[in-house]
């Protein structure tokens, strides 16, 4: 498989990220949980055979250092606006319209590289992957010459379809299961989360059944 794709992950400041997930771990460890999921997501993306480069758009110094150590290219969140602006900046400006680009959520700790490879292999034009609930979006891909035009937010799957993006079919449980709530985190653990998320939860004594994804 040719490494054609540039992946982009936007990461908010850890202290402000994932407000609906608060309560899943003690408040003092919330930012650590968010960072662990980002690290597992980035690790899987960087291992995917289809991905040539991972760009992480963030102003959080801890997140920047962590993903930089994994091999990601870190750029500041120059728009300093909302999620879609960060995605457009990373994909259309930093990576550039001449490349295949895919933006992903940063909360996919059960992602397997081969699932991402398969999804990107089906993205012949601007395409998206809906989340496990079928209402949100976990991945939006665009080919050379195509603006990303992200529509992330409430009801984004419908919004992306209405904008002309093609929905990609495939089970891909680790790709589709993002983590917005404590219930989502339990679903991820049932799938098999990555090492960083598992290690944190074990350290907190919250689970003994978390088996890192292969």
Q: Residue ranges for the binding site? A: 137, 153, 156
CA 22/CA 19 separation, integer angstroms: 6
As a three-state string, the secondary structure of the chain is CCCCEEEEEEECCHHHCCHHHCCCCCHHHHHHHHHHHHHHHHHHHHHCCCEEEEEEEECCHHHHHHHHHHCCEEECCCCCCCHHHHHHHHHHHHHHCCCEEEEECCCCCCCCHHHHHHHHHCCCCCEEEECCCCCCEEEEEECCCCCCCCCCCCCHHHHHHHCCCEECCCCCHHHHCCCCCHHHHHHHHHHCCCHHHHHHHHHCCCCCCCCCCC
Return the CA Rg of the chain.
16
* Residue 63 near residue 31, CB atoms below 8 Å: no
Annotated binding site for phosphoenolpyruvate: 137, 153, 156
Residue 138's nearest CA partner among 114, 117, 111 is: 111
């Amino acid at each position: 498989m040719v490494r054609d794709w540039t992946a982009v992950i936007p990461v908010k400041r850890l202290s402000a990220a994932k407000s609906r997930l608060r309560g899943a771990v003690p408040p003092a460890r919330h930012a650590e949980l968010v960072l662990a999921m980002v690290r597992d997501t980035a690790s899987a993306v960087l291992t995917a055979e289809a991905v040539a480069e991972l760009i992480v758009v963030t102003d959080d110094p801890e997140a920047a250092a962590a993903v930089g150590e994994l091999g990601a290219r870190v750029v500041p969140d120059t728009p300093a606006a909302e999620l879609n602006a960060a995605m457009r900046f990373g994909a259309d400006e930093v990576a550039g319209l001449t490349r295949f680009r895919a933006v992903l959520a940063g909360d996919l700790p059960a992602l397997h590289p081969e699932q991402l490879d398969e999804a990107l292999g089906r993205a012949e034009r601007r395409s998206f992957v809906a989340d496990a609930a079928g209402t949100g979006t976990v991945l939006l891909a665009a080919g050379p010459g195509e603006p990303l035009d992200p529509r992330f937010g409430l009801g984004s799957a419908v919004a992306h379809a209405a904008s002309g993006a093609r929905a990609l079919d495939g089970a891909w449980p680790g790709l589709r299961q993002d983590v917005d709530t404590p219930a989502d985190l339990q679903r991820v653990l049932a799938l098999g989360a990555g090492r960083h998320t598992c290690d944190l939860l074990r350290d907190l004594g919250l689970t003994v059944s978390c088996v890192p994804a292969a």
